[in-house]
Amino acid sequence: MTFAISARCARTGRFGVAMSTKPLAVGARCPFIAPGHGVVVTMATTNPRLGPFGLSLLRMGYSAQRVVDELAGTDKYIEYRQISAIDRDGNSAARTGKLNRDWAGAIVKENLVAMGNALIREQVASDMAKVYESLANEDLEQRLMSALEAGRDAGGQHGGQSSAVIMLYDDEIYPYVDLRVDEHKEPIGELRRIFDIYRPQIPYYYDRPMKPDRYPRRVNEWFEQTGQNPDGTKTR
C-alpha cells in the first residue's frame, strides 16, 4: 500500500523520489538512486534486493525498460511486486504485479513515473503526475514534494499513511536531499514541515563537504553571510 513519484530533471540531470506508505520507514527499503545513471523504485510486497541490482544495470547502460524486464525475470514472486525505473536519458518504465490490490498501476511518461498500489482511486497517481508537470519552472525537490501532497489530497491509500520520504541525488555519491518521516499520524504534512525548513539550507549542506574553506562551520553564520533568513527570505 504505497504511492510514489520518481523523476529525472531534464535541466539538471538530478534524479529524485517522493513516496508514502502505511508501514514504517518507507525510505529505508523502497527508493534507490545512482547519481547520473537513474532511479529504481520497488514497492508493494517489497523486495529491497531489486533496488541495488537495478542500479547496477543502469550503471551498465541498460535502458529503463530493460532494467524492469531483467528485475522481473530474476524474482519468482514478481507478481507481488511493483517496480519502476528511469534511466539517464529519461526513458521510463514500470511493472505492476498481478497480485497487487486495486487500485494498482502506473502513469509512465518521459522523465516521470507516478505509481501506487492499494490506492483509493487512480486519481492518486494521475494527480501526482499532473501537479508535477504543472510545476515545470520549479526545482525538482519542490515538484516532487508538491506531487506527493497531491496524491495524499486525492485520497492516498487504503488505511492512510504512516511514513514518507523525499530523496534526490545530484552528481555526488551522497544525496542532495534525503528527508524521512518514519512514523507519524500525518507523515506527508510532517515531511513538508521539515522540507520547508531544510530547503533554504540545501546549498550549505550539499556544497560544504567539498568546499569547507568557503563555508562557515555553523549554518546560522552562513545565513548571515548570504543575507538570508532560515525560512529562505532575504534579510537585506
Q: For 103-127, how does the pLDDT look when each residue is reduced to its tens digit (9 = 90+)?
A: 999 999 999 999 999 999 999 999 9
CB atoms within 10 A of CB 207: 13
Mean pLDDT of the chain: 93
What is residue 176's predicted lDDT score, i.e. its pLDDT?
Answer: 97
What is residue 49's predicted lDDT score, i.e. its pLDDT?
Answer: 96
What is residue 30's predicted lDDT score, i.e. its pLDDT?
Answer: 96
What is residue 161's predicted lDDT score, i.e. its pLDDT?
Answer: 93
In this structure, are residues 154 and 123 in contact, taking their beta carbons and an 8 Å threshold? yes
Q: Which of 160, 158, 155, 83 is nearest to 123 (CA)?
A: 155
Report the alpha-carbon distance of residue 205 to residue 215 in Å, rounded.
10
Place domain 2-202 in its CATH homologous superfamily: Aminohydrolase, N-terminal nucleophile (Ntn) domain (3.60.20.10)
Q: For 164-220, how does the pLDDT look when each residue is reduced to its tens digit (9 = 90+)?
A: 999 999 999 999 999 999 999 999 999 999 999 999 999 888 988 888 887 777 887
Instruction: Give 109-130 as a DSSP string.
Output: ETTEEEEEESBS-THHHHHHHH
Give me the residue spans of the domains in the chain: 2-202
The stretch 66-93 carries a mean pLDDT of: 97
H helices within 18-61, ranges in order?
50-59
Report the alpha-carbon distance of residue 62 to residue 192 in Å, rounded.
34
pLDDT beyond 80 at 44: yes
In this structure, are residues 78 and 53 in contact, taking their beta carbons and an 8 Å threshold? no
pLDDT beyond 60 at 25: yes
Establish how many alpha carbons lie within 13 A of residue 222's alpha carbon, considering only the half-sphere containing its beta carbon: 18
The stretch 76-101 carries a mean pLDDT of: 97
